[in-house]
């Protein structure tokens, strides 16, 4: 066990620092392994508590309804009993191309990857799923479902066991950040830093470790000479050294050796990565094992194979170059990492005349730079894995703001520096009624802080939880979904893929309208707005009214980070095929389902089970709650596993806006709509407000910040 952990982490080198004080390794693996271990232990504890339930959930073979031998009457009775109970809303633990072009860096088809997917429960053991067909799979009976449904699915998707209210409210579905795009490139490559003595390795892919049989601990901080051996050609090695000295790229083939002395022919491509000033930042070295193609007579790889392989390794190097640019430069000083957080925030056109901005501007006009001293802590609002959110008052103004404080050390140890910097940049771009305004950002010795709008209505999650059946009526769902669509449309127009849509991240303002929050898992890319001219049907040409052109603006670049919240993650994120803004439309489908039914459609008893359900399980609509056909159709179209065929993938938000579910919505005046009347009001009674007890742990966090 220790050997395996050491192989894929820095091992004893996790504390080794560069001369600038930053970690030697480009990625910190130790904290990530601890998070994965914590998740595994949690599942193990659950298995000990309820061994039968867990084993039945994960081990029973999939079986179609028609193949089951169970008592149908007993199942129907059980379903009726569950329908009479309010559903429990369990919380579980949760990162330039055309818009829908898949990322070109696809995983290699390796036995190792296949085995890992099977072990995690992500590889389907039965026959492959048939292509989705809406007309064939939509039914109108109680318990509507799309596609064949198994008895096991019935049990696993039944309303979950009720949890104690305090437990349910205390648990939070957290966003997960399992891997950056760089880590998910399944090719053999290393990254070295020529600015350090002897150009040492600062990153090695898992595939490289498997090829060379070395552990990451043995490679980090060393020059790649350890791959050389008796038959390695010195002249070829000199070519590589000259390319490094001249800061140019080179492609060669040479004999290298694994840790156990196994010889292999290495088609090696070296490529410099330059920063914005044109200076070399890193070298990317891509290896391709060409041993099986070697001609015995010439003792080399044939020219035809070499040309094809050269294209492959060069493309891999380009993908690595693009992926590594998401991360902060390892040569920066620690204090330079947070430089953007010390910049002054300027008001945006639509917010500059609000009382909040006038109060902030008054301080700036006096020549002071806004900092922690200008805010009085009122109460903590919540916390995440790297920081906390606090309600604060701007001293002497009577105005309230939300302050997000993130621990610098934790951000560094958990590979979240680039996420925090992206969030700061994204917030500074926003100027929309359904998105937060950034008023200030600053840093202390230990924390970086963001000052944004305070939303007194709290999370949509808690509003849902207060409803008698933990669900919303369809008119309320339409209202909140419409505002979310408009907010996502704006984000996509700015080149932002949100990637963490869920009820916890939808806050309700004092006017009852929504505000999407928490952008630490969002991806900032570029966007090229397009004007699409609708094609005219020959039969309708005689109609006088011409169709209006369609404005579409979707992010241009794909990503391959493994980020999101467990139950809301899209299939393409799990498979690592690369994802675009279509993941936000998938999450919208899950959100609709949760608002209408009180829980998400694919959740399982373990994370692995949830991911397996997302990839393979049929979408089922319980008959216990009356939901319109239009709503079911919309969810079905949004929850299409193929992102190219998902609603919103061709014409962006316009496709979704035109869906019959949103009939009657005046999209131009969405912000003027009256919020719906809910069974349990958003703001609650004064007695309920007074009864709220602040978690002592959150108070400790607040004391650490202030």
**pLDDT tens digits along 239-248:** 999 999 999 9
pLDDT the model gives residue 431: 97
Q: Does residue 212 belong to any structural domain of this protein?
A: yes
pLDDT the model gives residue 243: 95
Q: What is the DSSP letter of 280?
A: E
| Same-domain pairing of 219 and 293 | yes
- Residue where one domain finishes, among candidates 426, 456, 486: 456
pLDDT the model gives residue 157: 45
CA distance 102 to 652: 16
Q: Does residue 115 belong to any structural domain of this protein?
A: no
pLDDT the model gives residue 137: 46
CA distance 55 to 428: 48
| Same-domain pairing of 272 and 412 | no
| 404 assigned binding-site residue | yes
- Residue where one domain finishes, among candidates 415, 440, 456: 456
133-170: per-residue pLDDT in tens?
443 444 444 455 554 343 344 444 455 544 343 433 33
pLDDT the model gives residue 234: 95
CATH of the domain at 634: 1.10.510.10
Model confidence band, residue 391 (pLDDT cutoffs 50, 70, 90)? very high
Model confidence band, residue 232 (pLDDT cutoffs 50, 70, 90)? very high
Percentage of residues in the chain having pLDDT higher than 90: 52
- The answer to whether 500 is a known catalytic residue is yes
Q: Does residue 447 belong to any structural domain of this protein?
A: yes
Model confidence band, residue 18 (pLDDT cutoffs 50, 70, 90)? confident
Q: Does residue 155 belong to any structural domain of this protein?
A: no
**Identified catalytic residue from 500, 518, 584, 618:** 500
pLDDT the model gives residue 309: 87
**Per the structure block, which two tokens stand in for 356?**
């909040």
| Same-domain pairing of 189 and 228 | yes
pLDDT the model gives residue 164: 43
**Per the structure block, which two tokens stand in for 233?**
């050609």
**Average confidence (pLDDT) over 54-73:** 40
Helix or strand (DSSP H, E) at 41: helix 30-49
pLDDT the model gives residue 19: 79
CB atoms within 10 A of CB 627: 19
Classify 299 in phi/psi space as left (phi over 0), alpha (psi -120 to 50) or beta. Answer: left
| Same-domain pairing of 400 and 527 | no
| Same-domain pairing of 464 and 450 | no
**Average confidence (pLDDT) over 70-80:** 43
CA distance 621 to 573: 24
pLDDT for 312 beyond 70: yes
CATH of the domain at 15: 3.30.450.20
Most confident by average pLDDT, 181-185, 331-335, 665-669, 678-682: 665-669
pLDDT for 410 beyond 60: yes
Helix or strand (DSSP H, E) at 288: strand 280-289
pLDDT the model gives residue 693: 52
345, 347, 493, 617, 701 from 513: Cα distances, Å: 25, 21, 21, 34, 30
273-309: per-residue pLDDT in tens?
998 889 999 999 999 998 877 766 666 777 777 788 8
Could you tell me which residues come within 8 angstroms of residue 284 by beta carbon, excluding any fewer than 6 positions away?
A: 189, 190, 191, 270, 271, 272, 273, 317, 320, 321, 324
Of the listed ranges 18-27, 327-336, 504-513, the least confidently predicted one is 18-27
| Same-domain pairing of 236 and 196 | yes
Of the listed ranges 67-76, 451-460, 488-497, the least confidently predicted one is 67-76
Cβ–Cβ < 8 Å for 432, 487: yes
In terms of pLDDT, which residue wins out, 471 or 531? 471
pLDDT the model gives residue 559: 81
Long-range contacts (CB closer than 8 Å, 24 or more residues apart) made by 157-166: 157/601, 157/617, 157/620, 158/78, 158/79, 158/82, 159/82, 159/85, 159/87, 159/88, 159/598, 159/599, 159/622, 160/87, 160/88, 160/90, 160/599, 160/603, 161/88, 162/85, 162/88, 163/88, 163/90
| Same-domain pairing of 402 and 476 | no
Q: Which domain holds residue 529?
A: 458-533+548-672
pLDDT the model gives residue 684: 63
Q: Does residue 80 belong to any structural domain of this protein?
A: no
In terms of pLDDT, which residue wins out, 127 or 173? 173
94-125: per-residue pLDDT in tens?
433 333 333 333 333 444 444 444 434 454 44
Q: Does residue 625 belong to any structural domain of this protein?
A: yes
Q: Does residue 120 belong to any structural domain of this protein?
A: no
| Structural domains of the chain, count | 3
In terms of pLDDT, which residue wins out, 53 or 321? 321
- 328: closest CA among 458, 415, 443? 415
CA distance 369 to 343: 9
**Per the structure block, which two tokens stand in for 608?**
């692995």
Partner residues linked to 383 by β-bridges: 388
Average pLDDT, the chain: 79
Measured over the CA atoms of residue 506, residue 511, residue 513 and residue 518, the dihedral's sign is negative
pLDDT for 56 beyond 70: no
Pairing of strands 562-565, 550-552: unpaired
pLDDT the model gives residue 126: 39
Angle at 561 between CA 556 and CA 562, to 5 degrees: 135
pLDDT the model gives residue 382: 87
pLDDT the model gives residue 244: 95
pLDDT the model gives residue 692: 52
| Same-domain pairing of 400 and 471 | no
Model confidence band, residue 24 (pLDDT cutoffs 50, 70, 90)? confident
| Same-domain pairing of 424 and 508 | no
CA distance 286 to 185: 11
């399980």: which residue's tokens? 617
pLDDT the model gives residue 357: 95
Cβ–Cβ < 8 Å for 146, 638: no
Angle at 456 between CA 451 and CA 462, to 5 degrees: 110
pLDDT for 373 beyond 80: yes
Intra-chain end-to-end CA distance of the chain, in Å: 42
Model confidence band, residue 39 (pLDDT cutoffs 50, 70, 90)? low
- Residue where one domain finishes, among candidates 295, 326, 357: 326
Dmax (CA) for the chain in angstroms is 88
Model confidence band, residue 538 (pLDDT cutoffs 50, 70, 90)? low
CATH of the domain at 363: 3.30.200.20
Most confident by average pLDDT, 214-218, 299-303, 699-703: 214-218
Q: Does residue 473 belong to any structural domain of this protein?
A: yes
| Same-domain pairing of 639 and 623 | yes
| Same-domain pairing of 634 and 645 | yes
pLDDT the model gives residue 638: 98
In terms of pLDDT, which residue wins out, 36 or 343? 343
**Average confidence (pLDDT) over 208-218:** 93
pLDDT the model gives residue 35: 62
| Same-domain pairing of 490 and 376 | no
Of the listed ranges 33-47, 149-163, 255-269, the least confidently predicted one is 149-163
């Amino acid at each position: 066990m220790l050997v395996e952990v050491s192989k894929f982490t820095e091992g004893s080198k996790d504390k080794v620092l560069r001369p600038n004080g930053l970690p030697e390794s480009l990625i910190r693996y130790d904290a990530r392994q601890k998070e994965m271990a914590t998740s595994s232990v949690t599942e193990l504890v659950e298995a000990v508590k309820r061994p039968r339930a867990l084993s039945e959930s994960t081990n029973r073979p999939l079986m179609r309804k028609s193949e089951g031998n169970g008592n149908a009457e007993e199942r129907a009775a059980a379903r009726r009993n569950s329908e009479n109970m309010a559903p429990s809303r369990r919380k579980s633990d949760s990162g330039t191309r055309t818009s829908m072009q898949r990322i070109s860096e696809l995983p290699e088809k390796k036995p190792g990857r296949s085995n890992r997917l099977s072990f995690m429960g992500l590889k389907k053991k039965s026959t492959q799923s048939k292509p989705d067909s809406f007309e064939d799979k939509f039914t109108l009976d109680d318990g509507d479902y799309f596609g064949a449904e198994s008895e096991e699915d019935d049990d696993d998707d039944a309303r979950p066991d009720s949890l104690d209210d305090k437990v349910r409210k205390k648990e939070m579905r957290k966003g997960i950040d399992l891997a950056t795009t760089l880590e998910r490139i399944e090719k053999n490559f290393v990254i070295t830093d020529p600015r350090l003595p002897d150009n040492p390795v600062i990153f090695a892919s898992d595939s490289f470790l498997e090829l060379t049989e070395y552990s990451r601990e043995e490679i980090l901080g060393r020059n790649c000479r350890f791959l050389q051996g008796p038959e390695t050609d010195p002249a070829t090695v000199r070519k590589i050294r000259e390319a490094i000295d001249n800061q140019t790229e080179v492609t060669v083939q040479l004999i290298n050796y694994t840790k156990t002395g196994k010889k292999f022919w290495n088609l090696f491509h070296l490529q410099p990565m330059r920063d914005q000033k044109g200076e070399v930042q890193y070298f990317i070295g891509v290896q391709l094992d060409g041993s099986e193609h070697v001609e015995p007579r010439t003792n080399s790889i044939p020219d035809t194979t070499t040309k094809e392989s050269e294209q492959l390794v060069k493309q891999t190097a380009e993908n690595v170059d693009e992926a590594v640019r998401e991360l902060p430069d390892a040569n920066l000083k620690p204090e330079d990492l947070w430089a953007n957080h010390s910049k002054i925030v300027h008001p945006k056109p639509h917010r500059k005349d609000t009382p909040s901005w006038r109060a902030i501007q008054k301080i700036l006009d006096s020549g002071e730079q806004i900092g922690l001293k200008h805010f009085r802590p009122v109460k903590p609002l919540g916390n995440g894995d790297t920081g906390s959110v606090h309600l604060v008052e701007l001293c002497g103004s009577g105005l309230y703001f939300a302050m997000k404080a993130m621990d610098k050390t934790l951000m560094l140890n958990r590979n979240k520096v680039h996420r925090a910097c992206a969030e700061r940049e994204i917030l500074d771009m926003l100027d929309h009624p359904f998105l937060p305004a950034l008023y200030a950002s600053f840093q202390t010795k230990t924390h970086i802080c963001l000052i944004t709008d305070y939303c007194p209505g709290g999370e949509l999650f808690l509003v849902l939880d207060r409803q008698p059946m933990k669900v919303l009526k369809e008119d309320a769902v339409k209202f909140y979904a419409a505002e979310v669509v408009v907010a996502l449309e704006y984000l996509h127009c700015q080149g932002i893929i949100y990637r963490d849509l869920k009820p916890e991240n939808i806050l309700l303002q004092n006017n009852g309208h929504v505000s999407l929050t928490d952008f630490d898992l969002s991806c900032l890319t570029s966007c090229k707005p397009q004007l699409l001219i609708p094609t005219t049907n020959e039969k309708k040409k005689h109609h006088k009214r011409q169709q209006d052109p369609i404005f579409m603006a979707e992010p241009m670049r794909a990503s391959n980070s493994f980020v999101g919240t467990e139950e809301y993650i899209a299939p393409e994120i799990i498979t690592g095929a690369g994802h675009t803004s279509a993941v936000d439309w998938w999450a919208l489908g899950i959100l609709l389902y949760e608002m209408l039914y009180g829980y998400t459609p694919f959740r399982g008893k373990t994370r692995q089970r949830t991911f397996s359900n997302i990839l393979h399980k049929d979408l089922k609509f319980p008959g216990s709650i009356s939901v319109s056909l239009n709503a079911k159709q919309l969810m079905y179209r949004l929850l299409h596993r193929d992102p190219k065929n998902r609603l919103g993938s061709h014409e962006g938000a316009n496709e979704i806006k035109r869906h019959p579910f949103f009939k009657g919505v005046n999209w131009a005046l969405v912000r003027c709509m009256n919020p719906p009347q809910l069974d349990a009001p958003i703001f609650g009674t004064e007695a309920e407000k007074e009864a709220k007890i602040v978690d002592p742990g959150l108070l400790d966090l607040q004391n650490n910040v202030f």
